[in-house]
């Protein structure tokens, strides 16, 4: 658990690393309204490194959902040099909807409500639209 600048409070972070062989299309994990989207230029360290979350080129989306705020941060990696977003602030987004992509070797950090039950483990391979990452906790 860590305080997150995007959700402005405590959040559980799940990082999904994508190698150059992965599909880099990103999907919405939970239906909600996109309340903000912030692009930040940066460096291009290997996306598997912790410092990539703060130093690399990234695009942060914050969703207002029935379970609370959820943030998705697209992070460009060592080879990736382009983040693409297909959504705009104010849009209502549906769970599973494609919202963007990152060109090659990249990562997405998902910040979830603090009482979330995480359903993945470190090193697990996940597939967008198929692998559940979490479910709401007792308060959700």
Q: Residue 110: exposed, middle, or buried by beta-carbon count in 10 A (0-12, 13-18, 19+)?
A: buried
106: annotated active-site residue: yes
Cα–Cα–Cα angle for 34, 26, 28, nearest 5°? 40
| Distance from C-alpha of 92 to C-alpha of 132, rounded to nearest angstrom | 21
Closest CA relative to residue 135, chosen from 116, 111, 121, 114: 116
Q: 106, 116, 127, 131: which one is catalytic?
A: 106
| Distance from C-alpha of 121 to C-alpha of 84, rounded to nearest angstrom | 28
Q: Would you name the residues annotated as active-site residues?
A: 106
């Amino acid at each position: 658990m860590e305080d997150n600048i995007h959700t402005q409070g405590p959040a559980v972070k799940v990082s999904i690393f994508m190698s150059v062989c992965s599909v880099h299309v990103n999907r919405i994990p939970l239906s909600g309204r996109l309340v903000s989207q912030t692009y930040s230029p940066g460096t291009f360290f290997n996306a598997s490194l912790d410092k990539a979350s703060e130093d690399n080129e990234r695009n942060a989306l914050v969703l207002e959902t029935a379970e609370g705020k959820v943030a998705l941060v697209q992070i460009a990696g060592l080879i990736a040099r382009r983040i693409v977003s297909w959504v705009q602030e104010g849009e209502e987004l549906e769970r599973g909807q494609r919202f963007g992509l990152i060109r090659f070797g990249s990562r997405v950090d998902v910040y979830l409500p603090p009482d979330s039950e995480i359903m993945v483990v470190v090193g697990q391979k996940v597939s967008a639209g198929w692998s559940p990452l979490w479910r709401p906790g007792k308060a959700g």
